[in-house]
Structure 1
């Protein structure tokens, strides 16, 4: 018997089925699976023209900065908040005089205290940095917060210098710019600081230089020694830390723990970068009770004005701070003058 091969039209089933009338479907053609050929990438991020320009730069949100030490004079001085620049402080330059009498003896009039008026010179610190609006919108870190921190650090540095060497013209008057004399407290005019000589021009004495430091401590009256501190820069401190007694012991005493400060002759040392280096006739070391001896007057807060209108397309951050300072009690601070 001969077998017949039935060849049918692929569309015949579509027309023969009543339920599919009116619809035409294309036949499914199966093709064998093939593995695509490997191709080398032509776009890379290494050359800028080959695609590197399309990859955005990633900037760390933490910005490193050059560290500038702010003066710690504010932490050891007397600080008062004021409401206006017309601030005055009265201080007595002499005390009440008393006397001994018998039961029936007359009581003559005694001396009354003398007053001196202290008026700290005031000045206004300001900063006015600007940033474009696009920078504020698109930067990868908080530009406003960063500028605020930078302004605060700069204000602390600038006022710290003024507390030490300011001339009092639109700024605080530093304690190193006060009048100085070698005379003792009872004979020296009020407002004049006493200095102790180092024993050599522009240097410490060649023999027993620590003796002048001891003289400096005891030149300060005993009521002021409680809470007195040394003030000098790190270069001067490095020289003093090498001083030894006759038996070879260092006069510098390291702290026994993190809560106990290092001391010099029993008193804490405060490093202030604004203090001058040792030179001829320089006043490079101060010792005293700065809570009693130096007064800082200030407005309570720093004022910041954000100005996006004056200089488009830049946004200005105008910050101001009013600060004053002066010597309050000239008997509470002693200086070392590097001279014979």
Structure 2
């Protein structure tokens, strides 16, 4: 689909118009007598849904326009090109001749004892790109690629002492900074998409694109939940699985996140969100954003501040995302719904707070025997996650 700036501008203009209609409808709903509330509530909910559609459409058009304007990729090396061609033959026909040698030349890695073949560099990067597009956590969190099965990181907890002294007074020894080591919780994720041999024999069937899309979708669903709430057993430890406390940053142990209680079990108001923003240190707020599910965003769109202004604003200009209290909103359907004791909303600098660790290389084992006449592609990769800065993200907990 061809996209230009005019398309984005038209959608942005309609988004602004719909938001004006939504505000008028919601204001009337709040002021209406009981007999009128039902009809106005229905209209408001319809407009709320339309805002979501337009907001998502604007983001998709901007992404498509960015992709269309991206410069061409530099040419691949001869080794990578040969490896890619041989891997394509392996997918379609199961031919393995010379693939192992080409794999080692292209990727400069040793053979894997578990069998299967490494996905070519370009295809592997495309899979990660698709995962980034599909996964809300990958869109906002830090991501690194490592060559080993485990990853550890040193974190400076501070603690260097200091003091005031006279010009000629002695300088006693002060404390030294404290370093802590954090490790990623790693796990192996797999997918086993199936294709018929007939489709693989079809020259017009893009086998690589199909495998890319199938694997990316499966991995994104599994990863997304794990990065948020995984328990760390054979999978990443999700950010919501770490300990929470109400104590502030100065008194809270490293590795424990701060939760702000709404004061009402299973509900919250606009002031709770404002408090969440200003509980985060100023240094983190520059790159901060929100994370919440769609239905919670619906609720937030109807809220106003103490001056009667709506706290959610549509991005009515190209390149400007919709915002909540001036900060970008990241929708994540794996976030808990509004309920008693739920961590219903998170706010913070997720790139600083959580790191996703990908082990380099995705591997594919071709299986034409188990599910005849289909061919299975048992695809695996190691991935992990870890909390790297427990001061960078805060959660709103719906409890007294």
Is 1:300 aligned to residue 360 of structure 2? yes
Single out whichever of 109-118 and 93-102 deviates more from structure 2: 93-102
Larger proportion of helix: 2
Q: State yes or no: 1:283 paired with 2:343.
A: yes
Q: Deviations over 1:58-81 (max 9, x none)?
A: xxxxxxxxxxx8322112111111
Once the two structures are TM-superposed, the CA of residue 158 in structure 1 deviates from its matched residue by 1.4
Of residues 280-289 and 134-143 in structure 1, the stretch that sits farther from structure 2 once superposed is 134-143
Deviation sequence 1:158-180 (CA, Å, 0-9, x none): 11111111111111111111101
CA distances 1:155-213 after superposition (whole Å, capped 9, x unpaired): 12211111111111111111111101111111111111110011211111xxxx21111
Matched, 1:269 2:332: no
**1:130-209 alignment to 2 at 5 Å?**
130-137=194-201, 141-142=205-206, 145-204=209-268, 209=269
CA distance in 2: counterparts of 1:151 and 1:130, whole angstroms: 11
SS at match of 2:380: strand
**Would the aligned equivalents of 1:71 and 1:161 in 2 still touch at CA under 8 Å?**
no
How much does 1:139 deviate? Answer: 9.3
Alpha-carbon RMSD across the aligned residues, in angstroms, is 2.0
1:320, distance to aligned residue in structure 2 (A): 0.8
Query: What secondary structure sits across from 1:203 in the alignment?
Result: coil
Instruction: Please say if 1:87 is aligned against 2:147.
Output: no
Assess if the C-alpha contact under 8 Å between 1:175 and 1:294 holds in 2: yes
> Hey, what does 1:121 align to over in structure 2?
185
1:39 paired residue number:
none
Aligned residues of 1:136 and 1:144 also touching (Cα < 8 A): no
TM-superposed CA distance for 1:269, in Å, is 0.9
Q: Does the 8 A contact of 2:193 with 2:376 survive in 1?
A: yes
Number of aligned residue pairs: give it: 268
SS at match of 2:240: helix
Q: Secondary structure at the match of 2:134?
A: coil
Task: Return the alpha-carbon distance in structure 2 between the equivalents of residues 139 and 253 of structure 1.
Answer: 48
Deviations 1:42-92 (A, max 9, x none): xxxxxxxxxxxxxxxxxxxxxxxxxxx832211211111111123110101
Q: Which residue of the partner structure matches residue 227 of structure 1?
A: 287
Measure, in 2, the Cα distance between the counterparts of 1:309 and 1:222: 59
CA contact (8 A) 2:150 2:184 kept: no
Mapped partners of 1:234, 1:227: distance in 2: 22
The C-alpha deviation readout for 1:188-242, integer Å capped at 9, x for no partner, is 11111110011211111xxxx2111111111111111110111111111110111
TM-score (norm 2): 0.63
Q: If the length of structure 1 is used for normalisation, what is the TM-score?
A: 0.74
TM-superposed deviation, 1:143:
5.2
Contact kept in structure 1, 2:193 and 2:214, CA below 8 Å? no
Alignment match, 2:39? none
Which 5+ residue runs of structure 1 have no aligned equivalent?
Answer: 1-68
Aligned residue for 1:338?
398
Quote how far apart the aligned CAs of 1:135 are: 4.3
Rounded Cα–Cα distance in structure 1 between residues aligned with 2:389 and 2:213 = 34
Distance 2:193 2:203 in 1: 16
Query: 1-side partners of 2:329 and 2:195: how far apart?
Result: 41
Q: For 2:391, what is the secondary structure of its paired residue?
A: helix
Contact kept? 1:164, 1:176, Cα under 8 Å: yes
Aligned to 1:44: none
The corresponding residue for 1:252 is 312
Deviations 1:253-311 (Å, cap 9, x if unpaired)?
Answer: 22231211111112111111110110010001001111111011111332223344676
